Amino acid sequence: MELRPVAELLAALKSDDDAVRTQATEELWQHWFMQKGVVGLEQLNRSQALLESGDTQAAQQLLNEVIRDQPDFVEAWNRRAVLYYSLGEYRRAIQDCRMVLKLAPYHFGAAHGMGLCHAALGSYLEAIKAFRIALEVQPHALINQKLILECTAMLT
C-alpha cells in the first residue's frame, strides 16, 4: 500500500470528518514505523514483544542499538521513550521525546507522551505546552484537550 505524503496526512488530521482523521492518523503511524522498511519494523516489533514479556532490559538494549545504528529512526526514539515512561523514568523519556520532535516536529505521539511525562513529574506548565503541540497537529484529539484542562486545574 502506497502511503500518502506527510503534508497531505497532516492536513487530513484537521478535517471535520472523523473517518478522514482516523485514516490519516493510522497512515502517519505507518510512516513512522516503516521509516526503515521491514527490517526496522521487525526491530520495533521485537522490542515491543520484549517489553510486553517484561524483559525491559533487553528491549532497552535493542532500542539503544537501533538508535546507535540509525539515529534518524524517529519511531525507535519514540519506542524507547515509551519504554522509559513505562519504567517511570520520565526525564529520560522526555529527552527521547524531544529528539523525536526534533526529527519529526509533527509527531503528535511524542508530544502527547512528553506531556504525560511532565504531568507525572508535576511540571504542569510544561505538560500543557507539550499537549498544545500535540493539539496543533491533531486539533480534534479530545484526550489532549482533556489533559490540558486537567493540568490547568492542577495549577490553581
pLDDT surpassing 60 at residue 72:
yes
Domain boundaries, the chain: 6-155
**H/E stretch holding 11:** helix 6-12
Amino acid at 102: K
Cell 516489533, located at residue: 45
CATH 1.25.40.10 fits 6-155, yes or no: yes
- Classify burial at 19, counting beta carbons within 10 Å of its beta carbon; exposed 0-12, middle 13-18, buried 19 or more: exposed
DSSP code at position 1: -
pLDDT surpassing 60 at residue 1:
no
pLDDT surpassing 80 at residue 2:
no
Q: What predicted TM-score, i.e. pTM, was given to this entire model?
A: 0.94
Q: Write out the DSSP string of 82-105.
A: HHHHHTT-HHHHHHHHHHHHHH-T
Amino acid at 68: R
